[in-house]
Amino acid sequence: MSDVIRCASCGQLNRVPDLGSGKRAVCGQCKTPLAAAAAHNGHPVELSDSNFKSMIGNGDYIVDFWAGWCGPCRIIAPVIEQLASERNDVHFAKVNVDENPRTSAAFGVQSIPMLVFFRNGAEVGRVTGAVPKAQIENAITRYFH
């Protein structure tokens, strides 16, 4: 199984297969790491069961576990979008729990929205619920600085 990811640097569409641990997806045209490029285009990158591990391996990531039917998820989504456009010190990503059950189960996601903070692929913290922007910013400071 593979996903198609648009490179934020050059616009090229890239088919990204399920990569083994330690491998990173790069754009076939400009060679930019796809997760880094997508996460810095002002929007969270969509992750899946097939690309999750390869995409969050390097750097600081906040992953929003969410579902389309979840009211609190819809409340916090604009906050995540705003933070993604404002901050360049952390990557933002989203995982739809209904479409990606393996990743959701691997992290024991039982309540959504759930923000999981990763540093170089290792979980360093969590925030659950539709929390205010200031609380997410405090968590960024606590977990990454």
83-93: pLDDT as tens digits? 999 988 899 99
Alpha carbon of 32 to those of 10, 20, 45, 63, 86: distances in Å?
Answer: 9, 19, 15, 21, 21
pLDDT digits (tens, 9 = 90+) for 110-128: 999 999 999 989 999 999 9
Fold of 42-144: Glutaredoxin (3.40.30)
Checking if the pLDDT of 109 tops 90, the result is: yes
Alpha carbon of 109 to those of 53, 71, 74: distances in Å?
Answer: 16, 17, 17
Asked if 73 is an active-site residue, the reply is yes
pLDDT value of position 41: 58
Mean pLDDT score of the chain, rounded to an integer? 86
pTM for the predicted model, two decimal places: 0.74
Which residue in 10, 27, 30, 70 is the catalytic one?
70
pLDDT value of position 108: 96
Checking if the pLDDT of 135 tops 50, the result is: yes
Pairing type for strands 45-47 and 91-96 reads: parallel
Pairing type for strands 2-6 and 114-119 reads: unpaired
Which residue in 7, 27, 30, 73 is the catalytic one?
73
Return the percentage of the chain with pLDDT > 70, whole number: 83
